[in-house]
Amino acid sequence: MKIVSLAVQNFRCFKEEVSTPIGDLTTFVGKNDIGKSSILEALEIFFNNEVVKIDSSDANIFHRDKPVVITCEFTDLPTSLTLDAGAITSLANEYLLSMSGTLKIQKVYDCSKQKITPEIRILAYHPTVKGVSNLLELKENELKIIVHDNGLPAKLKGNPGMRRAIWDSVGDLNRQMVPIVVSGAKDERKVIWDQIEGHLPFFALFQSDRSSRDSDDEVQNPMKAAITAAIAEVQSEIEEIQRKVKEKVETIARRTHEALKTLDANLAKKLSPQFKPPTTSKWIGLFSVNMDTEDGIPLNKRGSGVRRMVLVSFFKAEAERRLEKSSRRSIIYAIEEPETAQHPNNQRILIDSFKSLANEQGCQVLLTTHSPGLAAELPAESIRFIHKDQEQLTIQAGADVFGEVAKSLGLIPDSRVKVLLCVEGPTDVAAFKCLSRALHLEDKTLPDLSSNEKVAFLVLGGSTLKHWVNEHYLRQLNCPEIHIYDSDVKKYAEWVQKVNQRNDGSWAVQTKKHEIESYLHPDAIRAAFSLEVDIVDHPIEGKPAAPRAFAEVYSKNFELDSLMGDDKAKIKLVEKAFPEMTAAMIRERDPDGEVEGWLRRIGQMLLEK
C-alpha cells in the first residue's frame, strides 16, 4: 500500500483540518516552529505510536475538548481479503473504498482521557439505505435470515457472498461517504481491519533533536530503521510462523477441550482459543542493534554529525539493496532536517540517496527542512510549503510553491558560490556533473562541475521556470545566472531571451539536441547495462527520444510488466550511463563542441570573479 494524502485536525498547531498530498518523495518546508515535525510525528502516531506517543498535550490548545483526528489515504491496495473459513472478498466488494477508489483510514484520539486509545474508522462510499447499511455488523445467522426471508439466490454460507446478494437486491443503495468504525468491533469489521492492518506500510521516523540517552537508541541509532526494513523483507515468513503457531495452539486447545469433557461435560460445552498474533511494532521491538565506533564508544553517544553520517550510509546501502531486490511490503522513511550537522558535500550525498530510494518500488521518503537551499536540490513537485495565511496554517503544493518558499524564507548567499547554474530537473544536474568531469580529466582548463564549489546548481524547470525568470528570485544572491534548458519545450525560448536581456552577466541557452540525454553515447549505455540502444539527436517516427528508447529496450530485456516511465529511465541513465561517458564519447556525440563551449564560458566567468 502507498500513502497518497494526509489530513490532520486539532493536532498541536493545526486547529482546523489541513490536508496535503504525499508522493514518493515529499519535503515539508517552512519556518521554525511552523508544524513540519508535527506532520511526521502525526504519521508516527498513526502507524506506530511508539517513537512519538499521543498524549493530552497534543490536542490543539484552543480546542482541548475536541479530539485529534489523523486521516491517511492509500492506493496500491490488496486485490483480495481472506476472512474466516477461507471466505474471499475485497475492499471494493464490501463498499469500503472512497468515491475515487482509494482507502481512507481515520484515527480519532480523545486526549481528555488518561488512556488514549484511537477510534479507527474507514471513510467509505458505503450504502446508507436502512436495512442494508449495517451488513458488516451482522453475524452469519443474521445474514442467513435476511437471505432466506427475501428468497435471494445466495448460498447460506460465507458472509461476503450473502452480503453481496443482499446489496444486489436493492435498487438504489444511496451510497454516501460515511465513517465505518472498525476498532473494538466483534464482528466482520474486526476481521477485515486485521487484514488491512497487515498490508499497511511500515513507517520509520528519524528525528533530529532527541536527547542522547541509551533508552532512546531506537531514535538515535539509525539501525532501528534497518530492523524495520528487514521485518518488511521477511513479512511472508513471519506470517507463516504465525500460521503454524495458530495451528499448534488450536490443536492443544482441542485436546484440552476433549480432556475437559471427561471431567465436567457442562463446563466443556465451549472452549475456543482467541488467537492474537503479535503486531508489527512488537516484532520490530524484539530486536535491537547497537553499533560501537572506535574505542568502543556507542554510536548514539557520538556527535549528531557522525550519527547522521551513518544515516547517509544506511540510505545509500538501502537504495542499492532495493535496486537488487524488491521488498514484499512497502515502507515509508521519514527524516527530520537531514541537513542538520552536515557538511554541504554530505548533504548532497544524502539528498541523492533519498531521491534514489524514493524511486524504488514500494518505498516513499518524507523529509522536513527550513533550508530553501536544500529544497532547491529536490524536485519542485516534491515540495510542500507550510505557512500561515491569516492565522490559519496551510500546506501549499504545486508548480509555484518554490517561489513562495524563496519569498518567505529568503535565500542565504554562500560566499564560495560565484555562479548559479540553473537547469530543469535533478537528472540534468547529475548529467552536467558527469559530462564536465569527463572533459576536465582531459583538459584541466575546463571546470569540473561535480567538485567546483564556485558553481551552485539550482533546479527550476517545468512550469515554474517563468516565475523564476520573471520574479528573479535569486537577485539577492548577487551572482550571475546561467540557464541551460532542453530544446524539447519551445516556450522556454521566451525565458531564455529574457535572461539574456538582463545585463548582469547572466546568460541562457537551449540545447541544440532534443535534451541532455541526447548527448549520451550508445557505448556508455552498453558499458552500464549491456544493452544496445539507438540514440538520436531528435526523435522521429520509429526512433523515440533517448529516455524512451532506453526504456523500451530495458523493459523488454528485463521482461518488465509495463514500460518504464521517462522519469525513471532518466534516473537510471544518470546513475549508470552518464558516469561511463568519456571525453572521446562526448566529442563523437557532440562534434560541434556545444557542451565544451558551455564549460569554457563558465570557466571564463569564474576567472573574472
Three-state SS across 342-368? CCHHHHHHHHHHHHHHHCCCCEEEEEE
Amino acid identity of 435? Answer: L
Is 455 within 8 Å of 516 (Cβ atoms)? Answer: no
Determine the pLDDT at residue 561: 73
How far apart are alpha carbons 429 and 307 in whole angstroms? 28
- If one compares 326 and 86, the residue with the highest pLDDT of the two is 86
Identify the weakest region by mean pLDDT among 106-115, 289-298, 365-374, 587-596. Answer: 289-298
What mean pLDDT comes out for the span 115-136?
Answer: 95
Is 387 within 8 Å of 396 (Cβ atoms)? Answer: yes
Q: What is the pLDDT of residues 265-290, one digit of tens each?
A: 666 566 666 777 777 777 877 776 66
Determine the pLDDT at residue 217: 43
Residue 123 C-alpha cell reads as: 471513510
Q: What is the pLDDT of residues 201-224, one digit of tens each?
A: 888 887 765 443 333 443 344 566
How far apart are alpha carbons 150 and 443 in whole angstroms? 87
Is 67 within 8 Å of 110 (Cβ atoms)? Answer: yes
pLDDT for residue 86 is more than 80: no
- If one compares 571 and 404, the residue with the highest pLDDT of the two is 571
Residue 424 C-alpha cell reads as: 530543469
Q: Which residues contact 369 (CB under 8 A, 6 or more apart)?
A: 27, 28, 29, 36, 337, 338, 339, 375
What mean pLDDT comes out for the span 222-233?
Answer: 71
User: Whole-prediction pTM value?
Assistant: 0.66
- If one compares 62 and 467, the residue with the highest pLDDT of the two is 62
Q: What is the pLDDT of residues 373-399, one digit of tens each?
A: 677 677 777 889 898 877 788 888 865
- If one compares 215 and 317, the residue with the highest pLDDT of the two is 317
How far apart are alpha carbons 607 and 599 in whole angstroms? 12
Is 58 within 8 Å of 12 (Cβ atoms)? Answer: yes
**Average pLDDT over all residues of the chain:** 83
Q: Which residues contact 252 (CB under 8 A, 6 or more apart)?
A: none
Residue 291 C-alpha cell reads as: 553499533
What mean pLDDT comes out for the span 530-557?
Answer: 94
How far apart are alpha carbons 298 and 296 in whole angstroms? 6
Amino acid identity of 398? Answer: G
How far apart are alpha carbons 281 and 304 in whole angstroms? 26
Whose grid coordinates read 452480503?
A: 163
Identify the weakest region by mean pLDDT among 224-233, 479-488, 516-525. Answer: 224-233
Determine the pLDDT at residue 297: 65
Determine the pLDDT at residue 183: 93
Q: What is the pLDDT of residues 259-270, one digit of tens each?
A: 777 766 666 566
Determine the pLDDT at residue 114: 87
- If one compares 583 and 400, the residue with the highest pLDDT of the two is 583
Determine the pLDDT at residue 214: 36
